[in-house]
Amino acid sequence: MEKLPVKIKNDIVSLEYPIFSLSKNKSLLIREYVHSTSNKRIKIIPSAFGAATIFDKELILFCGYKILSLERNGYPFSDKITIDTYEFLNFTGRSTGNNSYIQFHDTLRRLKGTILETNIENGGIQYIHGFSLIDEYKILKSGKNSILRVEVILSQWIYNAYLTKEILTLSPEYFQISKPLERRIYELARKHCGKKAIWKCQLSIIKDKCASTQSDRHFRAEIRKIIKNNNLPDYKIALDTHRNHVVFITRNTKLLSHELIKSKILDWYGNLEK
């Protein structure tokens, strides 16, 4: 059977909520995020190995890719995924040197060890649901450090997202975004701007969605660096300093021009910091 290609897909919830740490160092901080409109809460509780990072998330995306590939090509699939480590490293653009295999083991530990707690209210009673990003992992090794193959059992929450197609397509360039905050800003652009020409949001809300502990002033400075670098696939960002908004803008110039003229916001657009 000829293999039909699939695209990289991300579950919608982790695009919306700041589940994955952006810290370059081991983070042992317990974080809680409350959605500004729905009041839904999610608490992220790291293990001794630290919280799962936005780069650890690549393994979840790869597992989703494997599930969708098997489904599309008519093969059986389940929440248990077998991963060829070399294939994963190549797929995500990582080095295939010895250190990458050691780091891969730490990725598994963080994904398994990080606990997510969510609150659900029903009939005046609150339920708290706690789970990890992966339920189990099993490593096949050759020698001291060489990880040849891994069996991963995804959490039911992640697996269900792919089954029910509560997912969005990411740019093929996603893995090339090397800075954690830039990667997170792209995720927010993909979730909220999507196929629209423009989406804007208060700086403080974007800061919360990135789980940043910086002051608004310092976070704004980080956003300005992203504006200057202009490296995001599919989108660029700007600042509306008068309203303290971060503005997400499509790179589709035809769509953007049509929206600016239709909504009569050419002057506003011209005054953005971009």
pLDDT tens per residue across span 43-93: 999 999 999 999 999 999 999 999 999 999 899 999 999 999 999 999 999
User: What's the N-to-C CA distance of the chain in angstroms?
Assistant: 49
pLDDT tens per residue across span 110-153: 999 999 998 866 566 666 889 999 999 999 887 666 788 999 99
pLDDT tens per residue across span 95-122: 888 888 888 999 999 999 999 998 866 5
Q: Is the pTM of this model over 0.85?
A: yes
Backbone angles phi, psi at 67, to 5 degrees: -60, -50
The residues near 185 (Cβ < 8 Å, ≥ 6 apart) are 206, 210, 223, 226, 232, 237
